[in-house]
Structure 1
Amino acid sequence: MTYAIKNPHKIVPHLRRLARDTWFRLRTRDHVSYYRAVMRSDTARDPEGAVGSHNHRRWLALGRMQFDYLVEHGLKPECRMLEIGCGNLRAGHLFIGYLHTGNYYGIDISPDILMAAQETVVQHGLRDKLPHLTPVRDLRFEFLPDEHFDVVHAHSVFSHSPLHVIEECFAHVGRILRPGGWFDFTFDRTEGKEHQVLREDFYYRTETLLALAGRYGLTATFMDDWERLPHKQSKIRLTRSVLT
């Protein structure tokens, strides 16, 4: 109530979103189907807005921020990279241009946003770099080979995912990582009670995700320097634990 009083301009948009999302939940069988419907609706209105960018300048800035961070933290042109939730290639267009031909793989649960990703490839003259863009139903990575990727990246994916979806990813991502490879992901961090808003936005405690990663043989590092960048989410890096 206090938030509504301080932000009256947000009440009507919130009610519209609530009505739309309730309708989608009633017509879908699981979270992936539900969120795919959300993305279809958002992409039809504005592909860049669908990935969380309110204008093209912000789309470019957020993509550049992700790209620069990964390059500064180990991404090389020869790396083979998988981007989970690649969207319309906000950062992906930079990764594709930087990596060697054929080394970028992007997956997303939304076929609609992947159509927008194809347009981004064309607009940025990246067809000759042969990016792999694939729609998926889950995060089991069953169609991908063992130890194939040096880098796996997921930006603003787990911020929209219930814990069982994150656990599914943790259970399978180690198989596709090469020895010495790593998986960076962002999440909405809370130091209070974990919660969700409209089944679209999920907030987790850091220790919850660290413990979950450890359950699947992954070593987790909280990336403190990411916190200084102009973004509201936090970042964790996972590597395969070394057996001794």
Structure 2
Amino acid sequence: MTDLGITAGENYNDYVGPAEEYDFMGASQFRLLCTLGLRSKHKLLDFGCGSLRAGRLFLTYLDEGCYYGVDPNRWLIEDAIKFQVGQDLLRIKKPFFSYNDQFSLAEFETHFDFILAQSILTHTGIDLVRLCLQNFARYLKPDGLILATFLEGDYDTEGDSWEYPMCVTFRPSTIRQLAQDVGLVGISIPWFRPRQTWYVFAKDQDRLPTEAMFPYLHGAVLFDSMLGSSKK
């Protein structure tokens, strides 16, 4: 999310992760949310939407006024619109964008069915994770879901700073406790994501996927040698 001086237009794909995974990462997020019940009428917050890696798919699918994106790097979103999305789709779908770097959602003045934070909390100290989950809980509908990735580890990264491009780790028990502290319950799911782990959070335990649903939550990709580990 922090601008490191990369040239706009030329590297907007590379900025948000390995270029060779750009298309897969966007498609994987879209598939995951649809598997968990996303429909075109739902309001989606794409937190850290960056170069609309996933947003370009959600924008096409969601109804008018249902896509909300947050990223402090305005140039990333503008380049994605210029080179991939186009102004015509924006006129039809009427998305909302916020360029703030304060982890704030207040300006949208709405609540969300789904909140997505892919590879965001892998770059924040524990205080920012706490702030982020607190804001997510505040603007999540009672039956909504939060999807976020974490880098699990044996220790917790302390502090309140943004660590991009460095990655930070948290113990699974800490992740669940941080969610509980803001009125959320959460579990990790087996959906394939290189290097990171997907977590699902909700306000009600009954809204979370059960282990019986895990066979539908693997995100395997067939006939692709680069993503062969997704089938394990």
Residue 138, structure 1, aligned to residue 102, structure 2: yes
Q: Distance in 1 between matches of 2:118 and 2:105?
A: 17
Provide the residue aligned with 1:237 in structure 2: 200
Q: Distance in 1 between matches of 2:67 and 2:203?
A: 21
Q: Distance in 1 between matches of 2:10 and 2:81?
A: 17
Other structure's SS at 1:159 match: coil
Residue 73, structure 1, aligned to residue 36, structure 2: yes
Provide the residue aligned with 1:128 in structure 2: 92
Shift in Å, 1:199 = 6.6
Q: Distance in 2 between matches of 1:123 and 1:69?
A: 27
Residue 214, structure 1, aligned to residue 176, structure 2: no
Q: Distance in 2 between matches of 1:59 and 1:199?
A: 16
Over the aligned positions, Cα root-mean-square deviation in angstroms equals: 2.4
Maintained 8 Å contact 1:186/1:235: yes
Q: May I ask how many residue pairs the two structures share in their alignment? A: 200
Shift in Å, 1:195 = 5.0
Other structure's SS at 1:204 match: coil
Shift in Å, 1:157 = 0.7
More strand by share: 1
Provide the residue aligned with 1:60 in structure 2: 23
Q: Unaligned regions of 5+ residues in structure 1, if any?
A: 1-34
- Any idea what the Cα deviations from partners look like across 1:47-72, whole Å, max 9, x if unmatched? 000010324xx311211111111101
- Any idea what the Cα deviations from partners look like across 1:7-58, whole Å, max 9, x if unmatched? xxxxxxxxxxxxxxxxxxxxxxxxxxxx6232x4375651000010324xx3
Other structure's SS at 1:41 match: coil
Max radius of gyration: which structure?
1
2:11 is matched with which residue: 39, 46, 58? Answer: 46
Cα distance 1:166–1:124, how it changes in 2: closer, same or farther (>3 A)?
farther
User: What TM-score comes out, normalization by structure 2 length?
Assistant: 0.78
Provide the residue aligned with 2:3 in structure 1: 37
Q: Unaligned regions of 5+ residues in structure 2, if any?
A: 206-232
For 1:112-191, list aligned pairs within 5 A.
Answer: 112-119=75-82, 120-122=84-86, 125-145=89-109, 148-190=111-153
Shift in Å, 1:221 = 1.8
Q: Distance in 2 between matches of 1:198 and 1:110?
A: 13
1:107 is matched with which residue: 47, 67, 70? Answer: 70
Shift in Å, 1:142 = 2.2
Shift in Å, 1:127 = 3.9
